[in-house]
Structure 1
């Protein structure tokens, strides 16, 4: 039993595992969960190089929490639950997949040693993804996907096969791209990063472990000389107290910058309906949009019966929002979409409500006067998706929710196909 009895009001059970920079405790009173306690310790070279660093545990804990909150906001499935104390957080209990998943945007570090002839700074488009088997004694050798599949890992009852490897690879790249877009808001280039996955008791693959300044290379203004990650520590031949203070200040700076990674565009999707009778249709658009992270307003106005008021409402939104999409819900003789489109430079989407004359209503929305650029879709979720694609050009969280939705749909199809393949005939 651990000598430490309680952290953050949580009674601790046995130590599940202890690593170089953290301890993982069972939580007997919170079934299916564990507590990860960070250490004031920094290491490199599989632990060969190691130093105490007072305050690092708290910095790492806050950094990790802020990163996972960003990822959870996009819909990425994670094990992270919440902070428990200044140096600890609560996680869903997982059995870990013994693979480090590394994504690279630029060639640097160990990649150059393993791939002589590739110049430093070579840009990978799409990002380069690599996998390494967790084995400190052999310095975490690089593995191919074929080696992972051939190993036949069974993690919490889940056999890691091609489908599971494909899913983890896609999530790995997506996580990198989300955080790359986030850091770009602070003019910081995310060069590469590593993550790990676990499998919970229900067989779900979750992004797990820790993501902090030990996990990535981060170069402000894309300048390697300004690096603020653990590479600064790795590069030190002789480590002094002043050196450790510099590393700690870098880590604290990264932690503080994470507070500023929210999208800086104030967006709005405005659904105009020509009649109160169309509210049910418009509520479906709003619901689908909000699930994608859109800020949606519903308004009732008529381009035919209240043209001046319609344009006044539109202009109010134009004056207060940086990213804006209008959705026009009108049926026969649709003038709402074309009137909006003819008087704004923002995108307009027609989405006529269901009726017994839907064919005519669609034609009315499609047949707009020359010089106008309304798009037309039929289904409410299609209107929401199209609006999200437009807003996502400027808001990385909306963009990420779209990507996660696409990944989830593809994963569900793969799972259904696998279930069908495994049926006994």
Structure 2
């Protein structure tokens, strides 16, 4: 049986459509925005395939965390008209992506592990001690902000001083977002530990509303915005110098890179079993992170019809 997939959420009756890589956005009056999470899987600056339940799962994991952190930091959520949809406040996104890291980990050019292994000890306005090993817990969580790249640019590492001097944020804004980020991360680590998980690192996006209040935007502590490790096996694998056990969702990415240059070549047809395996990982992540059972049988299909029905009150009159 083919699993239900939402690979497109174009709804002509909704106004001001903006199609992102994985989300469809519609700007409504009164500074509100409908954000529909599709099942599209993006990598290498292109869409590779669609993963059943992905959009709903990420929306519901973010909902779990938004609900459990609203006492720390206000967020953009107004309501959830559909399992795949957030009605949120339309924000001016701040031009700094706030990444919090609790471990010496990562693979990107801006990750502290990559920089550390290249010989750097001073980065992001801080100095890391000598003798740290890959995937080791840091003395305390650190913030490693990057410029938020728009229009296909690349994120660049920033220090607090650079953020202020370049006028990206005011000192007061930086103080607010860094305080929010560290408190959100502490709550995330605490709650994840109760589920047998380590919240390793994560990114936060903040924006300002029409009154210039700073709100948490986008998503929070999902497996797409955060790195999680399995707590039970971490110590032993770290001692052995092995990569910690995680939600490995990169089956598709790895399969593609083994068969073509994804930046230049046509993407081969992704096998159905690979798509299903990736979907299973998202379901496992949802259940472990939230402690709730994901009932795939209760997902009402066809998905776009369900979403259209639930969003009908927002159609242009």
* TM-score, normalised with respect to structure 2: 0.69
When the two chains are superposed, the root-mean-square deviation of aligned CA atoms in Å is 2.4
CA–CA separation in structure 1 for the residues paired with 2:180 and 2:78: 19
Secondary structure of 1:77 counterpart: coil
Aligned position for 1:227: 246
Contact 2:72 2:184 in 1 (8 A): no
Over 3 Å counting, the alpha-carbon distance change for 1:53 and 1:231 in structure 2 is: closer
Whether the aligned pair in 1 keeps the contact of 2:208 and 2:215 (CA below 8 Å) is yes
Provide the residue aligned with 1:343 in structure 2.
none
SS in 1 for 2:145: strand
- Which position in structure 2 is the counterpart of 1:57? 55
- Whether the 8 Å contact between 1:229 and 1:251 is mirrored in structure 2 is no
In the TM superposition, structure 1's runs of 4+ consecutive aligned residues that sit over 6 Å from their partners are none
- Is 1:39 equivalent to 2:38 in the alignment? yes
Q: How many angstroms apart in 1 are the aligned matches of 2:49 and 2:77?
A: 27
Q: Distance in 1 between matches of 2:15 and 2:189?
A: 37
Q: 1:185 to 1:35 in 2, by over 3 A?
A: same
Among candidates 117, 125, 145, match of residue 131 of structure 1: 145
Distance (Å, rounded) in 2 between the aligned partners of 1:177 and 1:231: 27
Equivalent position of 1:208 in the other structure: 217
- After the TM superposition, which of the residue ranges 178-187 and 208-217 deviates more from structure 2? 208-217
Matched with 1:192 is: 201
- The offset of 1:57, in angstroms, is 1.2
CA 1:114–1:138 in 2, change beyond 3 Å: closer, same or farther? farther
Deviation (angstroms), 1:48: 5.1
Q: Map residues 325-336 of structure 1 onto 2, 5 A cutoff.
A: none
Where does 1:192-341 land on structure 2 (aligned, <5 Å)? Answer: 192-211=201-220, 212-221=222-231, 223=234, 224-228=243-247, 230=249, 235-236=254-255, 237-238=257-258, 240-260=271-291
Larger radius of gyration: 1
Pair 1:120-2:134 in alignment? yes
SS where residue 227 of structure 2 aligns? strand
1:21 matches 2:22: yes
Displacement after TM superposition at 1:55 (Å): 2.3
SS in 1 for 2:62: helix
Give yes or no for contact 1:37–1:87 (8 Å, CA) kept in 2: yes
Consecutive unaligned residues in structure 1, runs of 5 or more: 7-11, 154-159, 262-425
For residues 196 and 231 of structure 1, do their structure 2 counterparts lie closer, same or farther at Cα, with a shift above 3 Å needed?
A: farther
Alpha-carbon offset, residue 240 of structure 1: 4.4
Measured after TM superposition, the shift of residue 218 of structure 1 is: 0.8
Cα distance in 2, alignment partners of residues 164 and 63 from structure 1: 27
1:61-90 CA-partner distances (Å, limit 9, x unpaired): 111111111112x34211122212121111
For residue 234 of structure 1, report the CA deviation from its aligned partner.
Answer: 5.1
Residue ranges of structure 2 left out of the alignment (5+ in a row): 1-8, 120-131, 235-242, 259-269, 293-317
Q: How does 1:74-93 map to 2 (within 5 A)?
A: 74-93=71-90
Q: Which has the higher contact order (CA 8 A, sep 6+)?
A: 2
**Residue matched to 2:91:** 94
State TM-score, norm by structure 1.
Answer: 0.53
Q: How far apart, CA to CA, are the structure 1 residues paired with 2:185 and 2:254?
A: 24
Identify if the C-alpha distance between structure 1 residues 27 and 131 changes in structure 2 by more than 3 Å, giving closer, same or farther: same
Q: Deviations over 1:391-415 (max 9, x none)?
A: xxxxxxxxxxxxxxxxxxxxxxxxx
Deviation at 1:98, TM superposition (A): 2.2
Instruction: Tell me the CA shift for residue 168 of structure 1.
Output: 0.6
